[in-house]
Structure 1
Amino acid sequence: MAPSAADIAALDRAYVFHPFTALKEHERSGGPMIVRGSGITLEDSEGRTYLDGMAGLWCVNVGYGRPEIAEAIHRQALTLPYYHGFSSMSTDTPALLAERIVRAAPKGMAKVFFGNSGSDANDTQVKLVWYYNIARGKPNKRKIISRARGYHGVTLASASLTGLEGLHKGFGLPLDFVRHTRAPHRLWEAEPGMSDADLVASLAADLEAMILAEGPETVGAFIAEPIQGAGGVIVPPKGYFPAIREVLTRHDVLLIADEVICGFGRLGTMFGCEALDIEPDLITIAKGITSAYVPLSGCIVSQRVWDTIADAGERNGPFGHGYTYSAHPLAAAAALANLDVIENDRLLEAAATRGAEMRAALADSFGGHPLVGEVRGMGMVAAVELVAARTPATPFPPALKVAPRVAKAALARGVITRALPSSDTLAFSPPFVATSGEIAEIVGRVREALDAVADELARERALPRAS
């Protein structure tokens, strides 16, 4: 007999080591066992359904159950499920995909190095920066500047780049080549009365001061998400990236655009660089390239960086980096089919249109709530940041875990949102195929969840009740 849902849940609690999970709590009580998905709806082993307001982890852009992608994976698995890319060996689907990515990427991009996850891609970016600078005779340019609240992965290097304490605590991180500067987070970083232009100037000046203090001859790159995702869906003020680019150019520092969340339509454009006027030297991609149907990541390398790296190979011999699964033909086939869906179904336009509806609905539903400090977003991604008081903005004590409580209450109401780490922020990042009605349901049910938690807090701490 096939094992029951309860049996499988028990096996999960007994044997699966879950990422980003309260481990002992999971051993005791577990969580939903998701078994099926279609569009933006998920179903668990008990038959309960959920509207997925997060597209998995910001990644199932085209929605669940797309037969076009499943059929492409099936065809490729029967034709050639795997071959490697080492020692000049090639397969066809990665070649077709790399050309398509470079043609869609910002001006000046030349090559794609394929990996398996955003984390390993950002590890690769660090090594590319080091290789590039050693090739130029500048071996001391090894430091990478990231930002507070930035998220770049969980490997040793990429977790160090990440500016979230929870990814460092208990691991002895960050590694010593990483520095963190301020996030462009107006709610907490702008002084009273400060204009966007003033905030941009302050952030750029702080970055330059850090580079000068470290020594420009020791700083190799600056890494940034177009919009900071896991750190709070932080949208930078207008003019931020051109100001940062000017500082980096002045001090011969590369710019890595981490497009793992923003790439392939999340902001209503193919790349976030287009939406935020970013001129990168290197771009990190993952998630939306396959809509997570198959793991795949990539480092898009500019012509300038490629030329230096390739020339160094004449002296160093074969490039000594890569993975067994680099340029995996099955993953590339899934990515090509996914890009076809995005193009054929005009999902960039859908992300822009539905995203505007979602942000308007969130602003209307949450904007006046006494426990909401800010509603923000761009394209098909948004956030509601919760505060103990609005004027002046006052954070909740972390021990209250307000956003996780709201996320749990929303889950009980059949909606998946996400409480982001290191801030009381709820994220919204549904698949691009969400309908207007589904967006309205997501917003409405999460508002109900917030009201329920607000009432709990009022009883516990005499905080204002929801209006």
Structure 2
Amino acid sequence: MQHPATSQQDLSLDEFWMPFTANRQFKAKPRLLESAEGMFYTDVEGRQVLDATAGLWCCNAGHGRKEISEAVARQIAKLDFAPTFQMGHPLPFQLAERLVEIAPKGLNRVFFTNSGSESVDTALKIALAYQRARGEGTRTRLIGRELGYHGVGFGGISVGGMVNNRKAFGVQLPGVDHLPHTLDLERNAFTRGLPKQGAELADQLEKLVALHGAENIAAVIVEPMSGSAGVILPPQGYLKRLREITAKHGILLIFDEVITGYGRIGEPFAAQRWEVTPDIITTAKGLTNGAIPMGAVFVSEQIQDAFMHGPQGLIELFHGYTYSGHPVAAAAALATLDIYQRDGLLTRARELEVYWQEALHSLQGLAHVIDIRNTGLVGAVHLASREGAPGARGYEVFEACYWDGVMVRVTGDIIAMSPPLIVEKPHIDRIVEVLGNVIRRTA
């Protein structure tokens, strides 16, 4: 029997083609994590690394939660797999009921997926099929937003607005347009919380409606907060204006809450924090605390009911995944919800928001820091790009932080942070101390 590697010297790095990674750069100086507990990872050499990113925006309850691992162990021993095509098992029904309890009012139907990418493609397909089901089949156009990230399916990269995620592939969905992004460094740099300037950018949707005709537009999809692009926040009033325009024209509004869902900004969903209820919400990541891949798409009963016509034996939506509502994933999600609710984690980000905000903004004035953005327990430090080398400064800061014992995220020259919701004030102090020292060294 071959035993797992215990250090990076024992490990071949050639065979695994890593996702969203500069493979040659990484493999020249790998960062390999072996275990995790609470707020910390431990790497293969035994070094502790403070997790300032909740893994990949997903481990909201921190690491090593025995309630989740024990629920998974019990379930995989009892029922490892059961189909949900023309069959069923109790757990996804129980989970859907629990999720509806914390969802925005009216979003009371849940379709299960396995990732954020699948949730987005599911939402887009539901939106298109819904418009057709209600007799408006000309509504085939989808509208995303510049700098938006909606996963890596062909639907997601088409409505997404991060060019590197699609330019190598050539093919995209036809009939897609984009709203302008809301990042405005000139007017909003160093804003604490949501920026005051920019709500009028939502009115660009009216121009797209005039251009294409409302009768041809099925849905608008936006992240309430654009996480992967570097924590780009909605201006005050922006999301409400989008809701007003979409409702007026019969266009579905989809919130991609794969990052903001499950407590990241101080409510179960951003829709609740910012008091805007869309027609569809996509989620994943924090649903199972990152333990088992799973996603969930929330829709209104009205949307589902539009499909419930014709013979009872007719499949209403020809869509789904082998692992939709997987029993082990559902067990992990149920255990995760128990933790979130018992420990108050779905709203804890609000309790620490001001402390987090002031700690991050203490970095204002350091060389090359051109903006700091924050909401809930998420934040970004935006660095000026080096001439002729965009992204180089950001990567250098990201890598140095890791070797100094703090794991942050980097996108271009933006350092993004989203610590587990169990974070304490001393952890915040340490994150900001290390990041500040590294920025000073790399200026």
CA distance in 1: counterparts of 2:9 and 2:210, whole angstroms: 56
In the TM superposition, what is the alpha-carbon distance from 1:190 to its structure 2 partner? 7.1
In the TM superposition, what is the alpha-carbon distance from 1:224 to its structure 2 partner? 1.1
Letter in 2 for 1:83: A
**Alignment check: 8 A CA contact 1:382 1:428 kept:** yes
CA distance in 2: counterparts of 1:196 and 1:412, whole angstroms: 33
In the TM superposition, what is the alpha-carbon distance from 1:411 to its structure 2 partner? 1.1
**Alignment check: 8 A CA contact 1:164 1:231 kept:** yes
Number of aligned positions between the proteins: 438
In the TM superposition, what is the alpha-carbon distance from 1:196 to its structure 2 partner? 6.4
Q: Does 1:378 align with 2:378?
A: no
CA distance in 1: counterparts of 2:248 and 2:10, whole angstroms: 56
**Alignment check: 8 A CA contact 1:149 1:232 kept:** no
Which of 298, 301, 326 is residue 300 of structure 1 equivalent to?
298
Structure 1: which 5+ residue stretches go unaligned? 389-394, 455-467
Which of 396, 420, 440 is residue 431 of structure 1 equivalent to?
420
Cα distance, 1:429–1:9 mapped onto 2, change above 3 Å = farther
In the TM superposition, what is the alpha-carbon distance from 1:254 to its structure 2 partner? 0.2
In the TM superposition, what is the alpha-carbon distance from 1:2 to its structure 2 partner? 3.5
Coordinate RMSD, CA, aligned: 2.2
Secondary structure in structure 1 of the residue aligned to 2:292: coil
User: Which contiguous aligned blocks of 4+ residues in structure 1 show a shift greater than 6 angstroms?
Assistant: 195-198
Alignment of 1:258-337 (within 5 A): 258-311=256-309, 317-337=315-335
In the TM superposition, what is the alpha-carbon distance from 1:349 to its structure 2 partner? 3.9
Cα distance, 1:9–1:145 mapped onto 2, change above 3 Å = farther
Letter in 2 for 1:207: L
Letter in 1 for 2:174: D
Q: Who is 2:21 aligned against?
A: 21
Letter in 1 for 2:426: G
CA distance in 1: counterparts of 2:389 and 2:145, whole angstroms: 21
| Deviation string, structure 1 residues 370-418 (Cα, Å, up to 9, x no partner) | 4122211111111111126xxxxxx865535221111111112111111
In the TM superposition, what is the alpha-carbon distance from 1:438 to its structure 2 partner? 1.1
**Alignment check: 8 A CA contact 1:129 1:142 kept:** no
Letter in 2 for 1:178: V
Letter in 1 for 2:442: V
Secondary structure in structure 2 of the residue aligned to 1:269: coil
Secondary structure in structure 1 of the residue aligned to 2:34: strand
Alignment of 1:125-164 (within 5 A): 125-164=123-162
CA distance in 2: counterparts of 1:142 and 1:62, whole angstroms: 39
**Alignment check: 8 A CA contact 1:183 1:189 kept:** no
CA distance in 1: counterparts of 2:174 and 2:18, whole angstroms: 28
In the TM superposition, what is the alpha-carbon distance from 1:188 to its structure 2 partner? 5.6
Cα distance, 1:4–1:124 mapped onto 2, change above 3 Å = closer
Which of 419, 431, 435 is residue 446 of structure 1 equivalent to?
435
**Alignment check: 8 A CA contact 2:147 2:226 kept:** yes
Cα distance, 1:283–1:402 mapped onto 2, change above 3 Å = same
> Which is further off, 305-314 or 92-101?
305-314
Which of 222, 247, 252 is residue 250 of structure 2 equivalent to?
252
Secondary structure in structure 2 of the residue aligned to 1:399: coil
Letter in 1 for 2:414: T
CA distance in 1: counterparts of 2:60 and 2:15, whole angstroms: 30
Q: Who is 2:396 aligned against?
A: 405
Q: Who is 2:66 aligned against?
A: 67
In the TM superposition, what is the alpha-carbon distance from 1:314 to its structure 2 partner? 5.6
In the TM superposition, what is the alpha-carbon distance from 1:199 to its structure 2 partner? 2.3
Structure 2: which 5+ residue stretches go unaligned? none
In the TM superposition, what is the alpha-carbon distance from 1:95 to its structure 2 partner? 0.9
CA distance in 1: counterparts of 2:295 and 2:183, whole angstroms: 28
CA distance in 1: counterparts of 2:9 and 2:294, whole angstroms: 28
Cα distance, 1:316–1:76 mapped onto 2, change above 3 Å = closer
CA distance in 2: counterparts of 1:98 and 1:322, whole angstroms: 16
In the TM superposition, what is the alpha-carbon distance from 1:356 to its structure 2 partner? 2.8
Letter in 2 for 1:205: D
**Alignment check: 8 A CA contact 1:263 1:285 kept:** yes
Give % identity. Answer: 37
Letter in 1 for 2:372: V
Letter in 1 for 2:341: E
Which of 365, 368, 387 is residue 365 of structure 2 equivalent to?
368
CA distance in 2: counterparts of 1:342 and 1:329, whole angstroms: 20
| Deviation string, structure 1 residues 255-294 (Cα, Å, up to 9, x no partner) | 0011111111001111110111222101101011111111
In the TM superposition, what is the alpha-carbon distance from 1:331 to its structure 2 partner? 0.7
In the TM superposition, what is the alpha-carbon distance from 1:118 to its structure 2 partner? 0.4
CA distance in 1: counterparts of 2:63 and 2:311, whole angstroms: 43
Secondary structure in structure 2 of the residue aligned to 1:310: coil
In the TM superposition, what is the alpha-carbon distance from 1:151 to its structure 2 partner? 0.9
CA distance in 1: counterparts of 2:324 and 2:311, whole angstroms: 19
